[in-house]
Amino acid sequence: MNQTSLNHGHIDPNHIKQSDIKQAETAVTRRSVQSYNAEALADVYQDDVNIATWQRTLSPDLLSAVQQLLSSDHLFRISTSVTPHNTYDSLYDALGSSDHAQVISEDITEIVDMFCCLFDLKQVGLRLTTLDRAMCPKFHVDRVPCRLVTTYSGIATEWLPHEFVDRQKLGVGSQGKSDEESGLYQHQSDIRRLSTGDVALLKGESWLGNEGAGLVHRSPALANKENRLLLTLDFN
């Protein structure tokens, strides 16, 4: 920042502290990346990216399998550690060893393999859950390096671009007010939402160099009798 640019903005440089200038020059910025190509997920390694999304459309067979699963078992939760080699067997057994269990298990196995390959992991923490209410209804950040989320059925995860967030209003900073009332964000249009089928990597606060810039996100509100089928993967 030089004197010419300051004067152009009608600001007296003598009234600006050097600490303010340094803070402006080092302001944290983050952006999102999305593509119909799965290779976009690797962009999460870029320092200024805090969400990378593979925008995919679920196949008719997979959509049908998901609906059969939801109709046969109203609410369930699978939480386990898996490797790319045992994911299929673990899920196939847990989901009832049926035709629809096979289709879903195959898809999730591919995602686990992709996640482990991307981050050089031997195993991951897997959660596959049906939800009839918002699991985390307020905007928050995750204290993890990175989390994969994908919604197989229902409304998908909501998130806020970094530049629209007043982080002082997160958690106790909201003073008990709702996200809409706290001043965490200014406009309803600031909220972004993943689509059903999208596979997204959400960079958290524990990613090296990402402190204070973890993706701010929340579970969406669900209508009465509406269910979600949500998969998350975490470092183990």
pLDDT at 24: 38
What is the C-alpha to C-alpha distance for residues 116 and 126, in angstroms, rounded to an integer? 12
The count of domains in the chain is 1
How far the first Cα of the chain sits from its last, in Å, is: 44
- Domain limits at 194? 28-235
Q: In the predicted model, is pLDDT for residue 6 greater than 60?
A: no
Residue 39 inside a domain? The answer is yes
Average pLDDT for the chain? 86
Residue 96 inside a domain? The answer is yes
User: 193 by DSSP, 3-state: which?
Assistant: strand
Residue 2 inside a domain? The answer is no
CATH code, 216: 2.60.120
CB 55 within 8 A of CB 94: no
Q: In the predicted model, is pLDDT for residue 227 greater than 90?
A: no
pLDDT at 3: 40
Residue 21 inside a domain? The answer is no
Residue 177 inside a domain? The answer is yes
Return the H-helix or E-strand segment holding 147. strand 146-153
Residue 139 inside a domain? The answer is yes
Lowest mean pLDDT among 72-81, 90-99, 205-214: 72-81
Residue 73 inside a domain? The answer is yes
What is the C-alpha to C-alpha distance for residues 97 and 94, in angstroms, rounded to an integer? 7
Angle separating helix axes 60-72 and 99-119, nearest 10 degrees: 110
Lowest mean pLDDT among 12-16, 84-88, 89-93, 138-142: 12-16
Residue 70 inside a domain? The answer is yes
Q: Rounded to two decimals, what is the model's pTM?
A: 0.85
**pLDDT average, residue stretch 19-42:** 75
As a whole-number percent, the residues of the chain with pLDDT over 90 amount to 66
